[in-house]
């Protein structure tokens, strides 16, 4: 198969993981890496990789087929639309956007340009969640009446007052729900689809250093159209680290983490427990999925529609937190 010519925009932070995938993939010719920080680009230039600090320069080149973009959230509409309008397929990091308007703008650009736009969410490609998906889709759990999703961890940046763009809601859109919580909403949505109503309570400024105006913890309650209920807990200022989805159905319960899936069959006390161990990286299979969308000539929005739905849940959660009332999702 032909090689595809890529730009990577944003190579510090999480972009470093994408750099590792792009640098070693047999179908990728990495034409240019862009990052505003010389600390990121200098060592790359030393490795013979072409670099720039200006994404306008990187994304307007005429020797590219695709771009991977991992930037602060407020930069996405401009960078993503610029890439699409230059005819590039785009894999962008989660979340889709700071807000629904930005997400809509990027979707519209992808449709106009007729290029694939995919929003990353690598949790779905991790072995445990990959293993769980066919079990849930087979109907083995019966009717799922209770869904629980948890993401907790201790983000050192918050404690070191290293918030940068993340601490400004205008730049990030928030953190606990839209940034940390996105991962678990992505997984819960993958299994359960869209809720029709969301209630969210969240907090901020809990004795951490620095001047930040974003949420640092949140609890969501989800009402599903099939009568099921769910909750989501997201917090990046606590211990222990946990990323877990529990699905409770009339025929069984599935307890899923990245590396372990426990299936409690039936609902009696003597339920059988099945445990699977699994390990592996998720960025490579996620990237293969992106290549597959390009190769198959998929519709531009296919890789972004799930993320658009998650953005709708996030939007509802923040509106609910403001009003103190449960809210229905916007279209």
Ligand X SMILES: NC(=O)c1ccc[n+]([C@@H]2O[C@H](COP(=O)([O-])OP(=O)(O)OC[C@H]3O[C@@H](n4cnc5c(N)ncnc54)[C@H](O)[C@@H]3O)[C@@H](O)[C@H]2O)c1
Count other C-beta atoms under 10 Å from residue 98's C-beta: 23
14 interacts with ligand X by CB under 6 A: yes
- Our CB check for ligand X shows the closer of 8 and 293 to be 8
36 interacts with ligand X by CB under 6 A: yes
- Non-local (6+) Cβ contacts of 100 within 8 A are 311, 312, 315, 330
How far CA 3 is from CA of 25, 28, 54, 230, in Å, comes to: 10, 5, 25, 44
- Our CB check for ligand X shows the closer of 173 and 230 to be 173
Q: Identify the three-state secondary structure at position 132.
A: helix
35 interacts with ligand X by CB under 6 A: yes
285 interacts with ligand X by CB under 6 A: no
75 interacts with ligand X by CB under 6 A: yes
Choosing from 28, 51, 55, 189, the residue that interacts with ligand X (CB under 6 A) is 55
Q: Please report, as residue ranges, which positions from 84 to 103 form the binding site for ligand X (by CB under 6 A).
A: 93-94
- Our CB check for ligand X shows the closer of 80 and 263 to be 80
Angle between helices 305-323 and 181-192 (to 10 degrees): 120
166 secondary structure, DSSP code: G
Angle between helices 100-113 and 76-85 (to 10 degrees): 10
- Our CB check for ligand X shows the closer of 70 and 198 to be 70
203 interacts with ligand X by CB under 6 A: no
Binding mask 265-284 for ligand X (x = CB under 6 A): --------------------
208 interacts with ligand X by CB under 6 A: no
243 interacts with ligand X by CB under 6 A: no
Using CA atoms, how far apart are residues 167 and 242, in angstroms rounded to an integer? 22
- Our CB check for ligand X shows the closer of 186 and 309 to be 186
Q: Please report, as residue ranges, which positions from 115 to 134 form the binding site for ligand X (by CB under 6 A).
A: 120, 122
329 secondary structure, DSSP code: P
Phi, psi of 287 (to 5 degrees): -65, -40
Cα-trace Rg, the chain = 20
- Our CB check for ligand X shows the closer of 14 and 145 to be 14
At its nearest, how many Å lie between ligand X and the CB of residue 282?
A: 9
- Angle at CA 268, nearest 5°, toward 263 and 269? 90
21 interacts with ligand X by CB under 6 A: no
Can you give the binding site for ligand X, defined by CB under 6 A? 10, 12-15, 34-37, 40, 55, 70-73, 75, 93-94, 120, 122, 164, 179
């Amino acid at each position: 198969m032909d090689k595809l010519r890529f730009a990577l925009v944003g190579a510090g932070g999480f972009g470093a993981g994408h750099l590792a995938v792009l640098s070693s993939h047999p179908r990728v010719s990495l034409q240019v890496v862009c990052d505003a920080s010389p600390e990121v680009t200098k060592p790359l230039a030393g490795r013979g990789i072409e670099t720039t600090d200006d994404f306008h320069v990187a994304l307007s080149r005429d020797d590219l087929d695709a771009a991977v973009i991992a930037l602060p959230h407020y930069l996405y509409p401009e960078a993503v639309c610029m890439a699409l309008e230059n005819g590039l397929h785009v894999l962008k990091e989660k979340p889709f956007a700071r807000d629904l308007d930005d997400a809509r703008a990027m979707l519209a650009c992808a449709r106009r340009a007729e290029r694939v736009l995919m929003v990353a969410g690598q949790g779905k490609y991790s072995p445990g969640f990959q293993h769980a998906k066919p079990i849930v889709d087979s109907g083995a759990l019966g009717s799922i009446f209770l869904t629980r999703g948890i993401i907790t961890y201790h983000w050192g940046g918050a404690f070191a007052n290293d918030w940068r763009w993340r601490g400004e809601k205008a730049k990030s859109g928030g953190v606990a729900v839209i940034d940390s919580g996105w991962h678990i909403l992505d997984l819960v949505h993958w299994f359960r689809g869209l809720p029709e109503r969301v209630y969210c309570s969240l907090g901020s400024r809990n004795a951490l250093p620095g001047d930040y105006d974003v949420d640092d913890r949140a609890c969501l309650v989800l009402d599903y159209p099939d009568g099921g209920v769910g909750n989501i807990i997201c917090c990046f200022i606590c211990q222990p680290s946990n990323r877990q989805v529990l699905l409770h159905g009339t025929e069984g319960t599935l307890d899923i983490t990245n590396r372990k899936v426990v299936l409690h069959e039936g609902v009696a006390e003597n339920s059988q427990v099945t445990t699977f161990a699994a390990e592996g990286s998720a960025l490579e299979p996620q990237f293969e999925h992106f290549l597959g969308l390009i190769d198959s000539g998929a519709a531009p929005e296919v890789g972004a529609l799930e993320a658009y739905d998650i953005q709708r849940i996030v939007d509802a959660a923040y509106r609910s937190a403001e009003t103190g009332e449960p809210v229905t999702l916007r279209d």
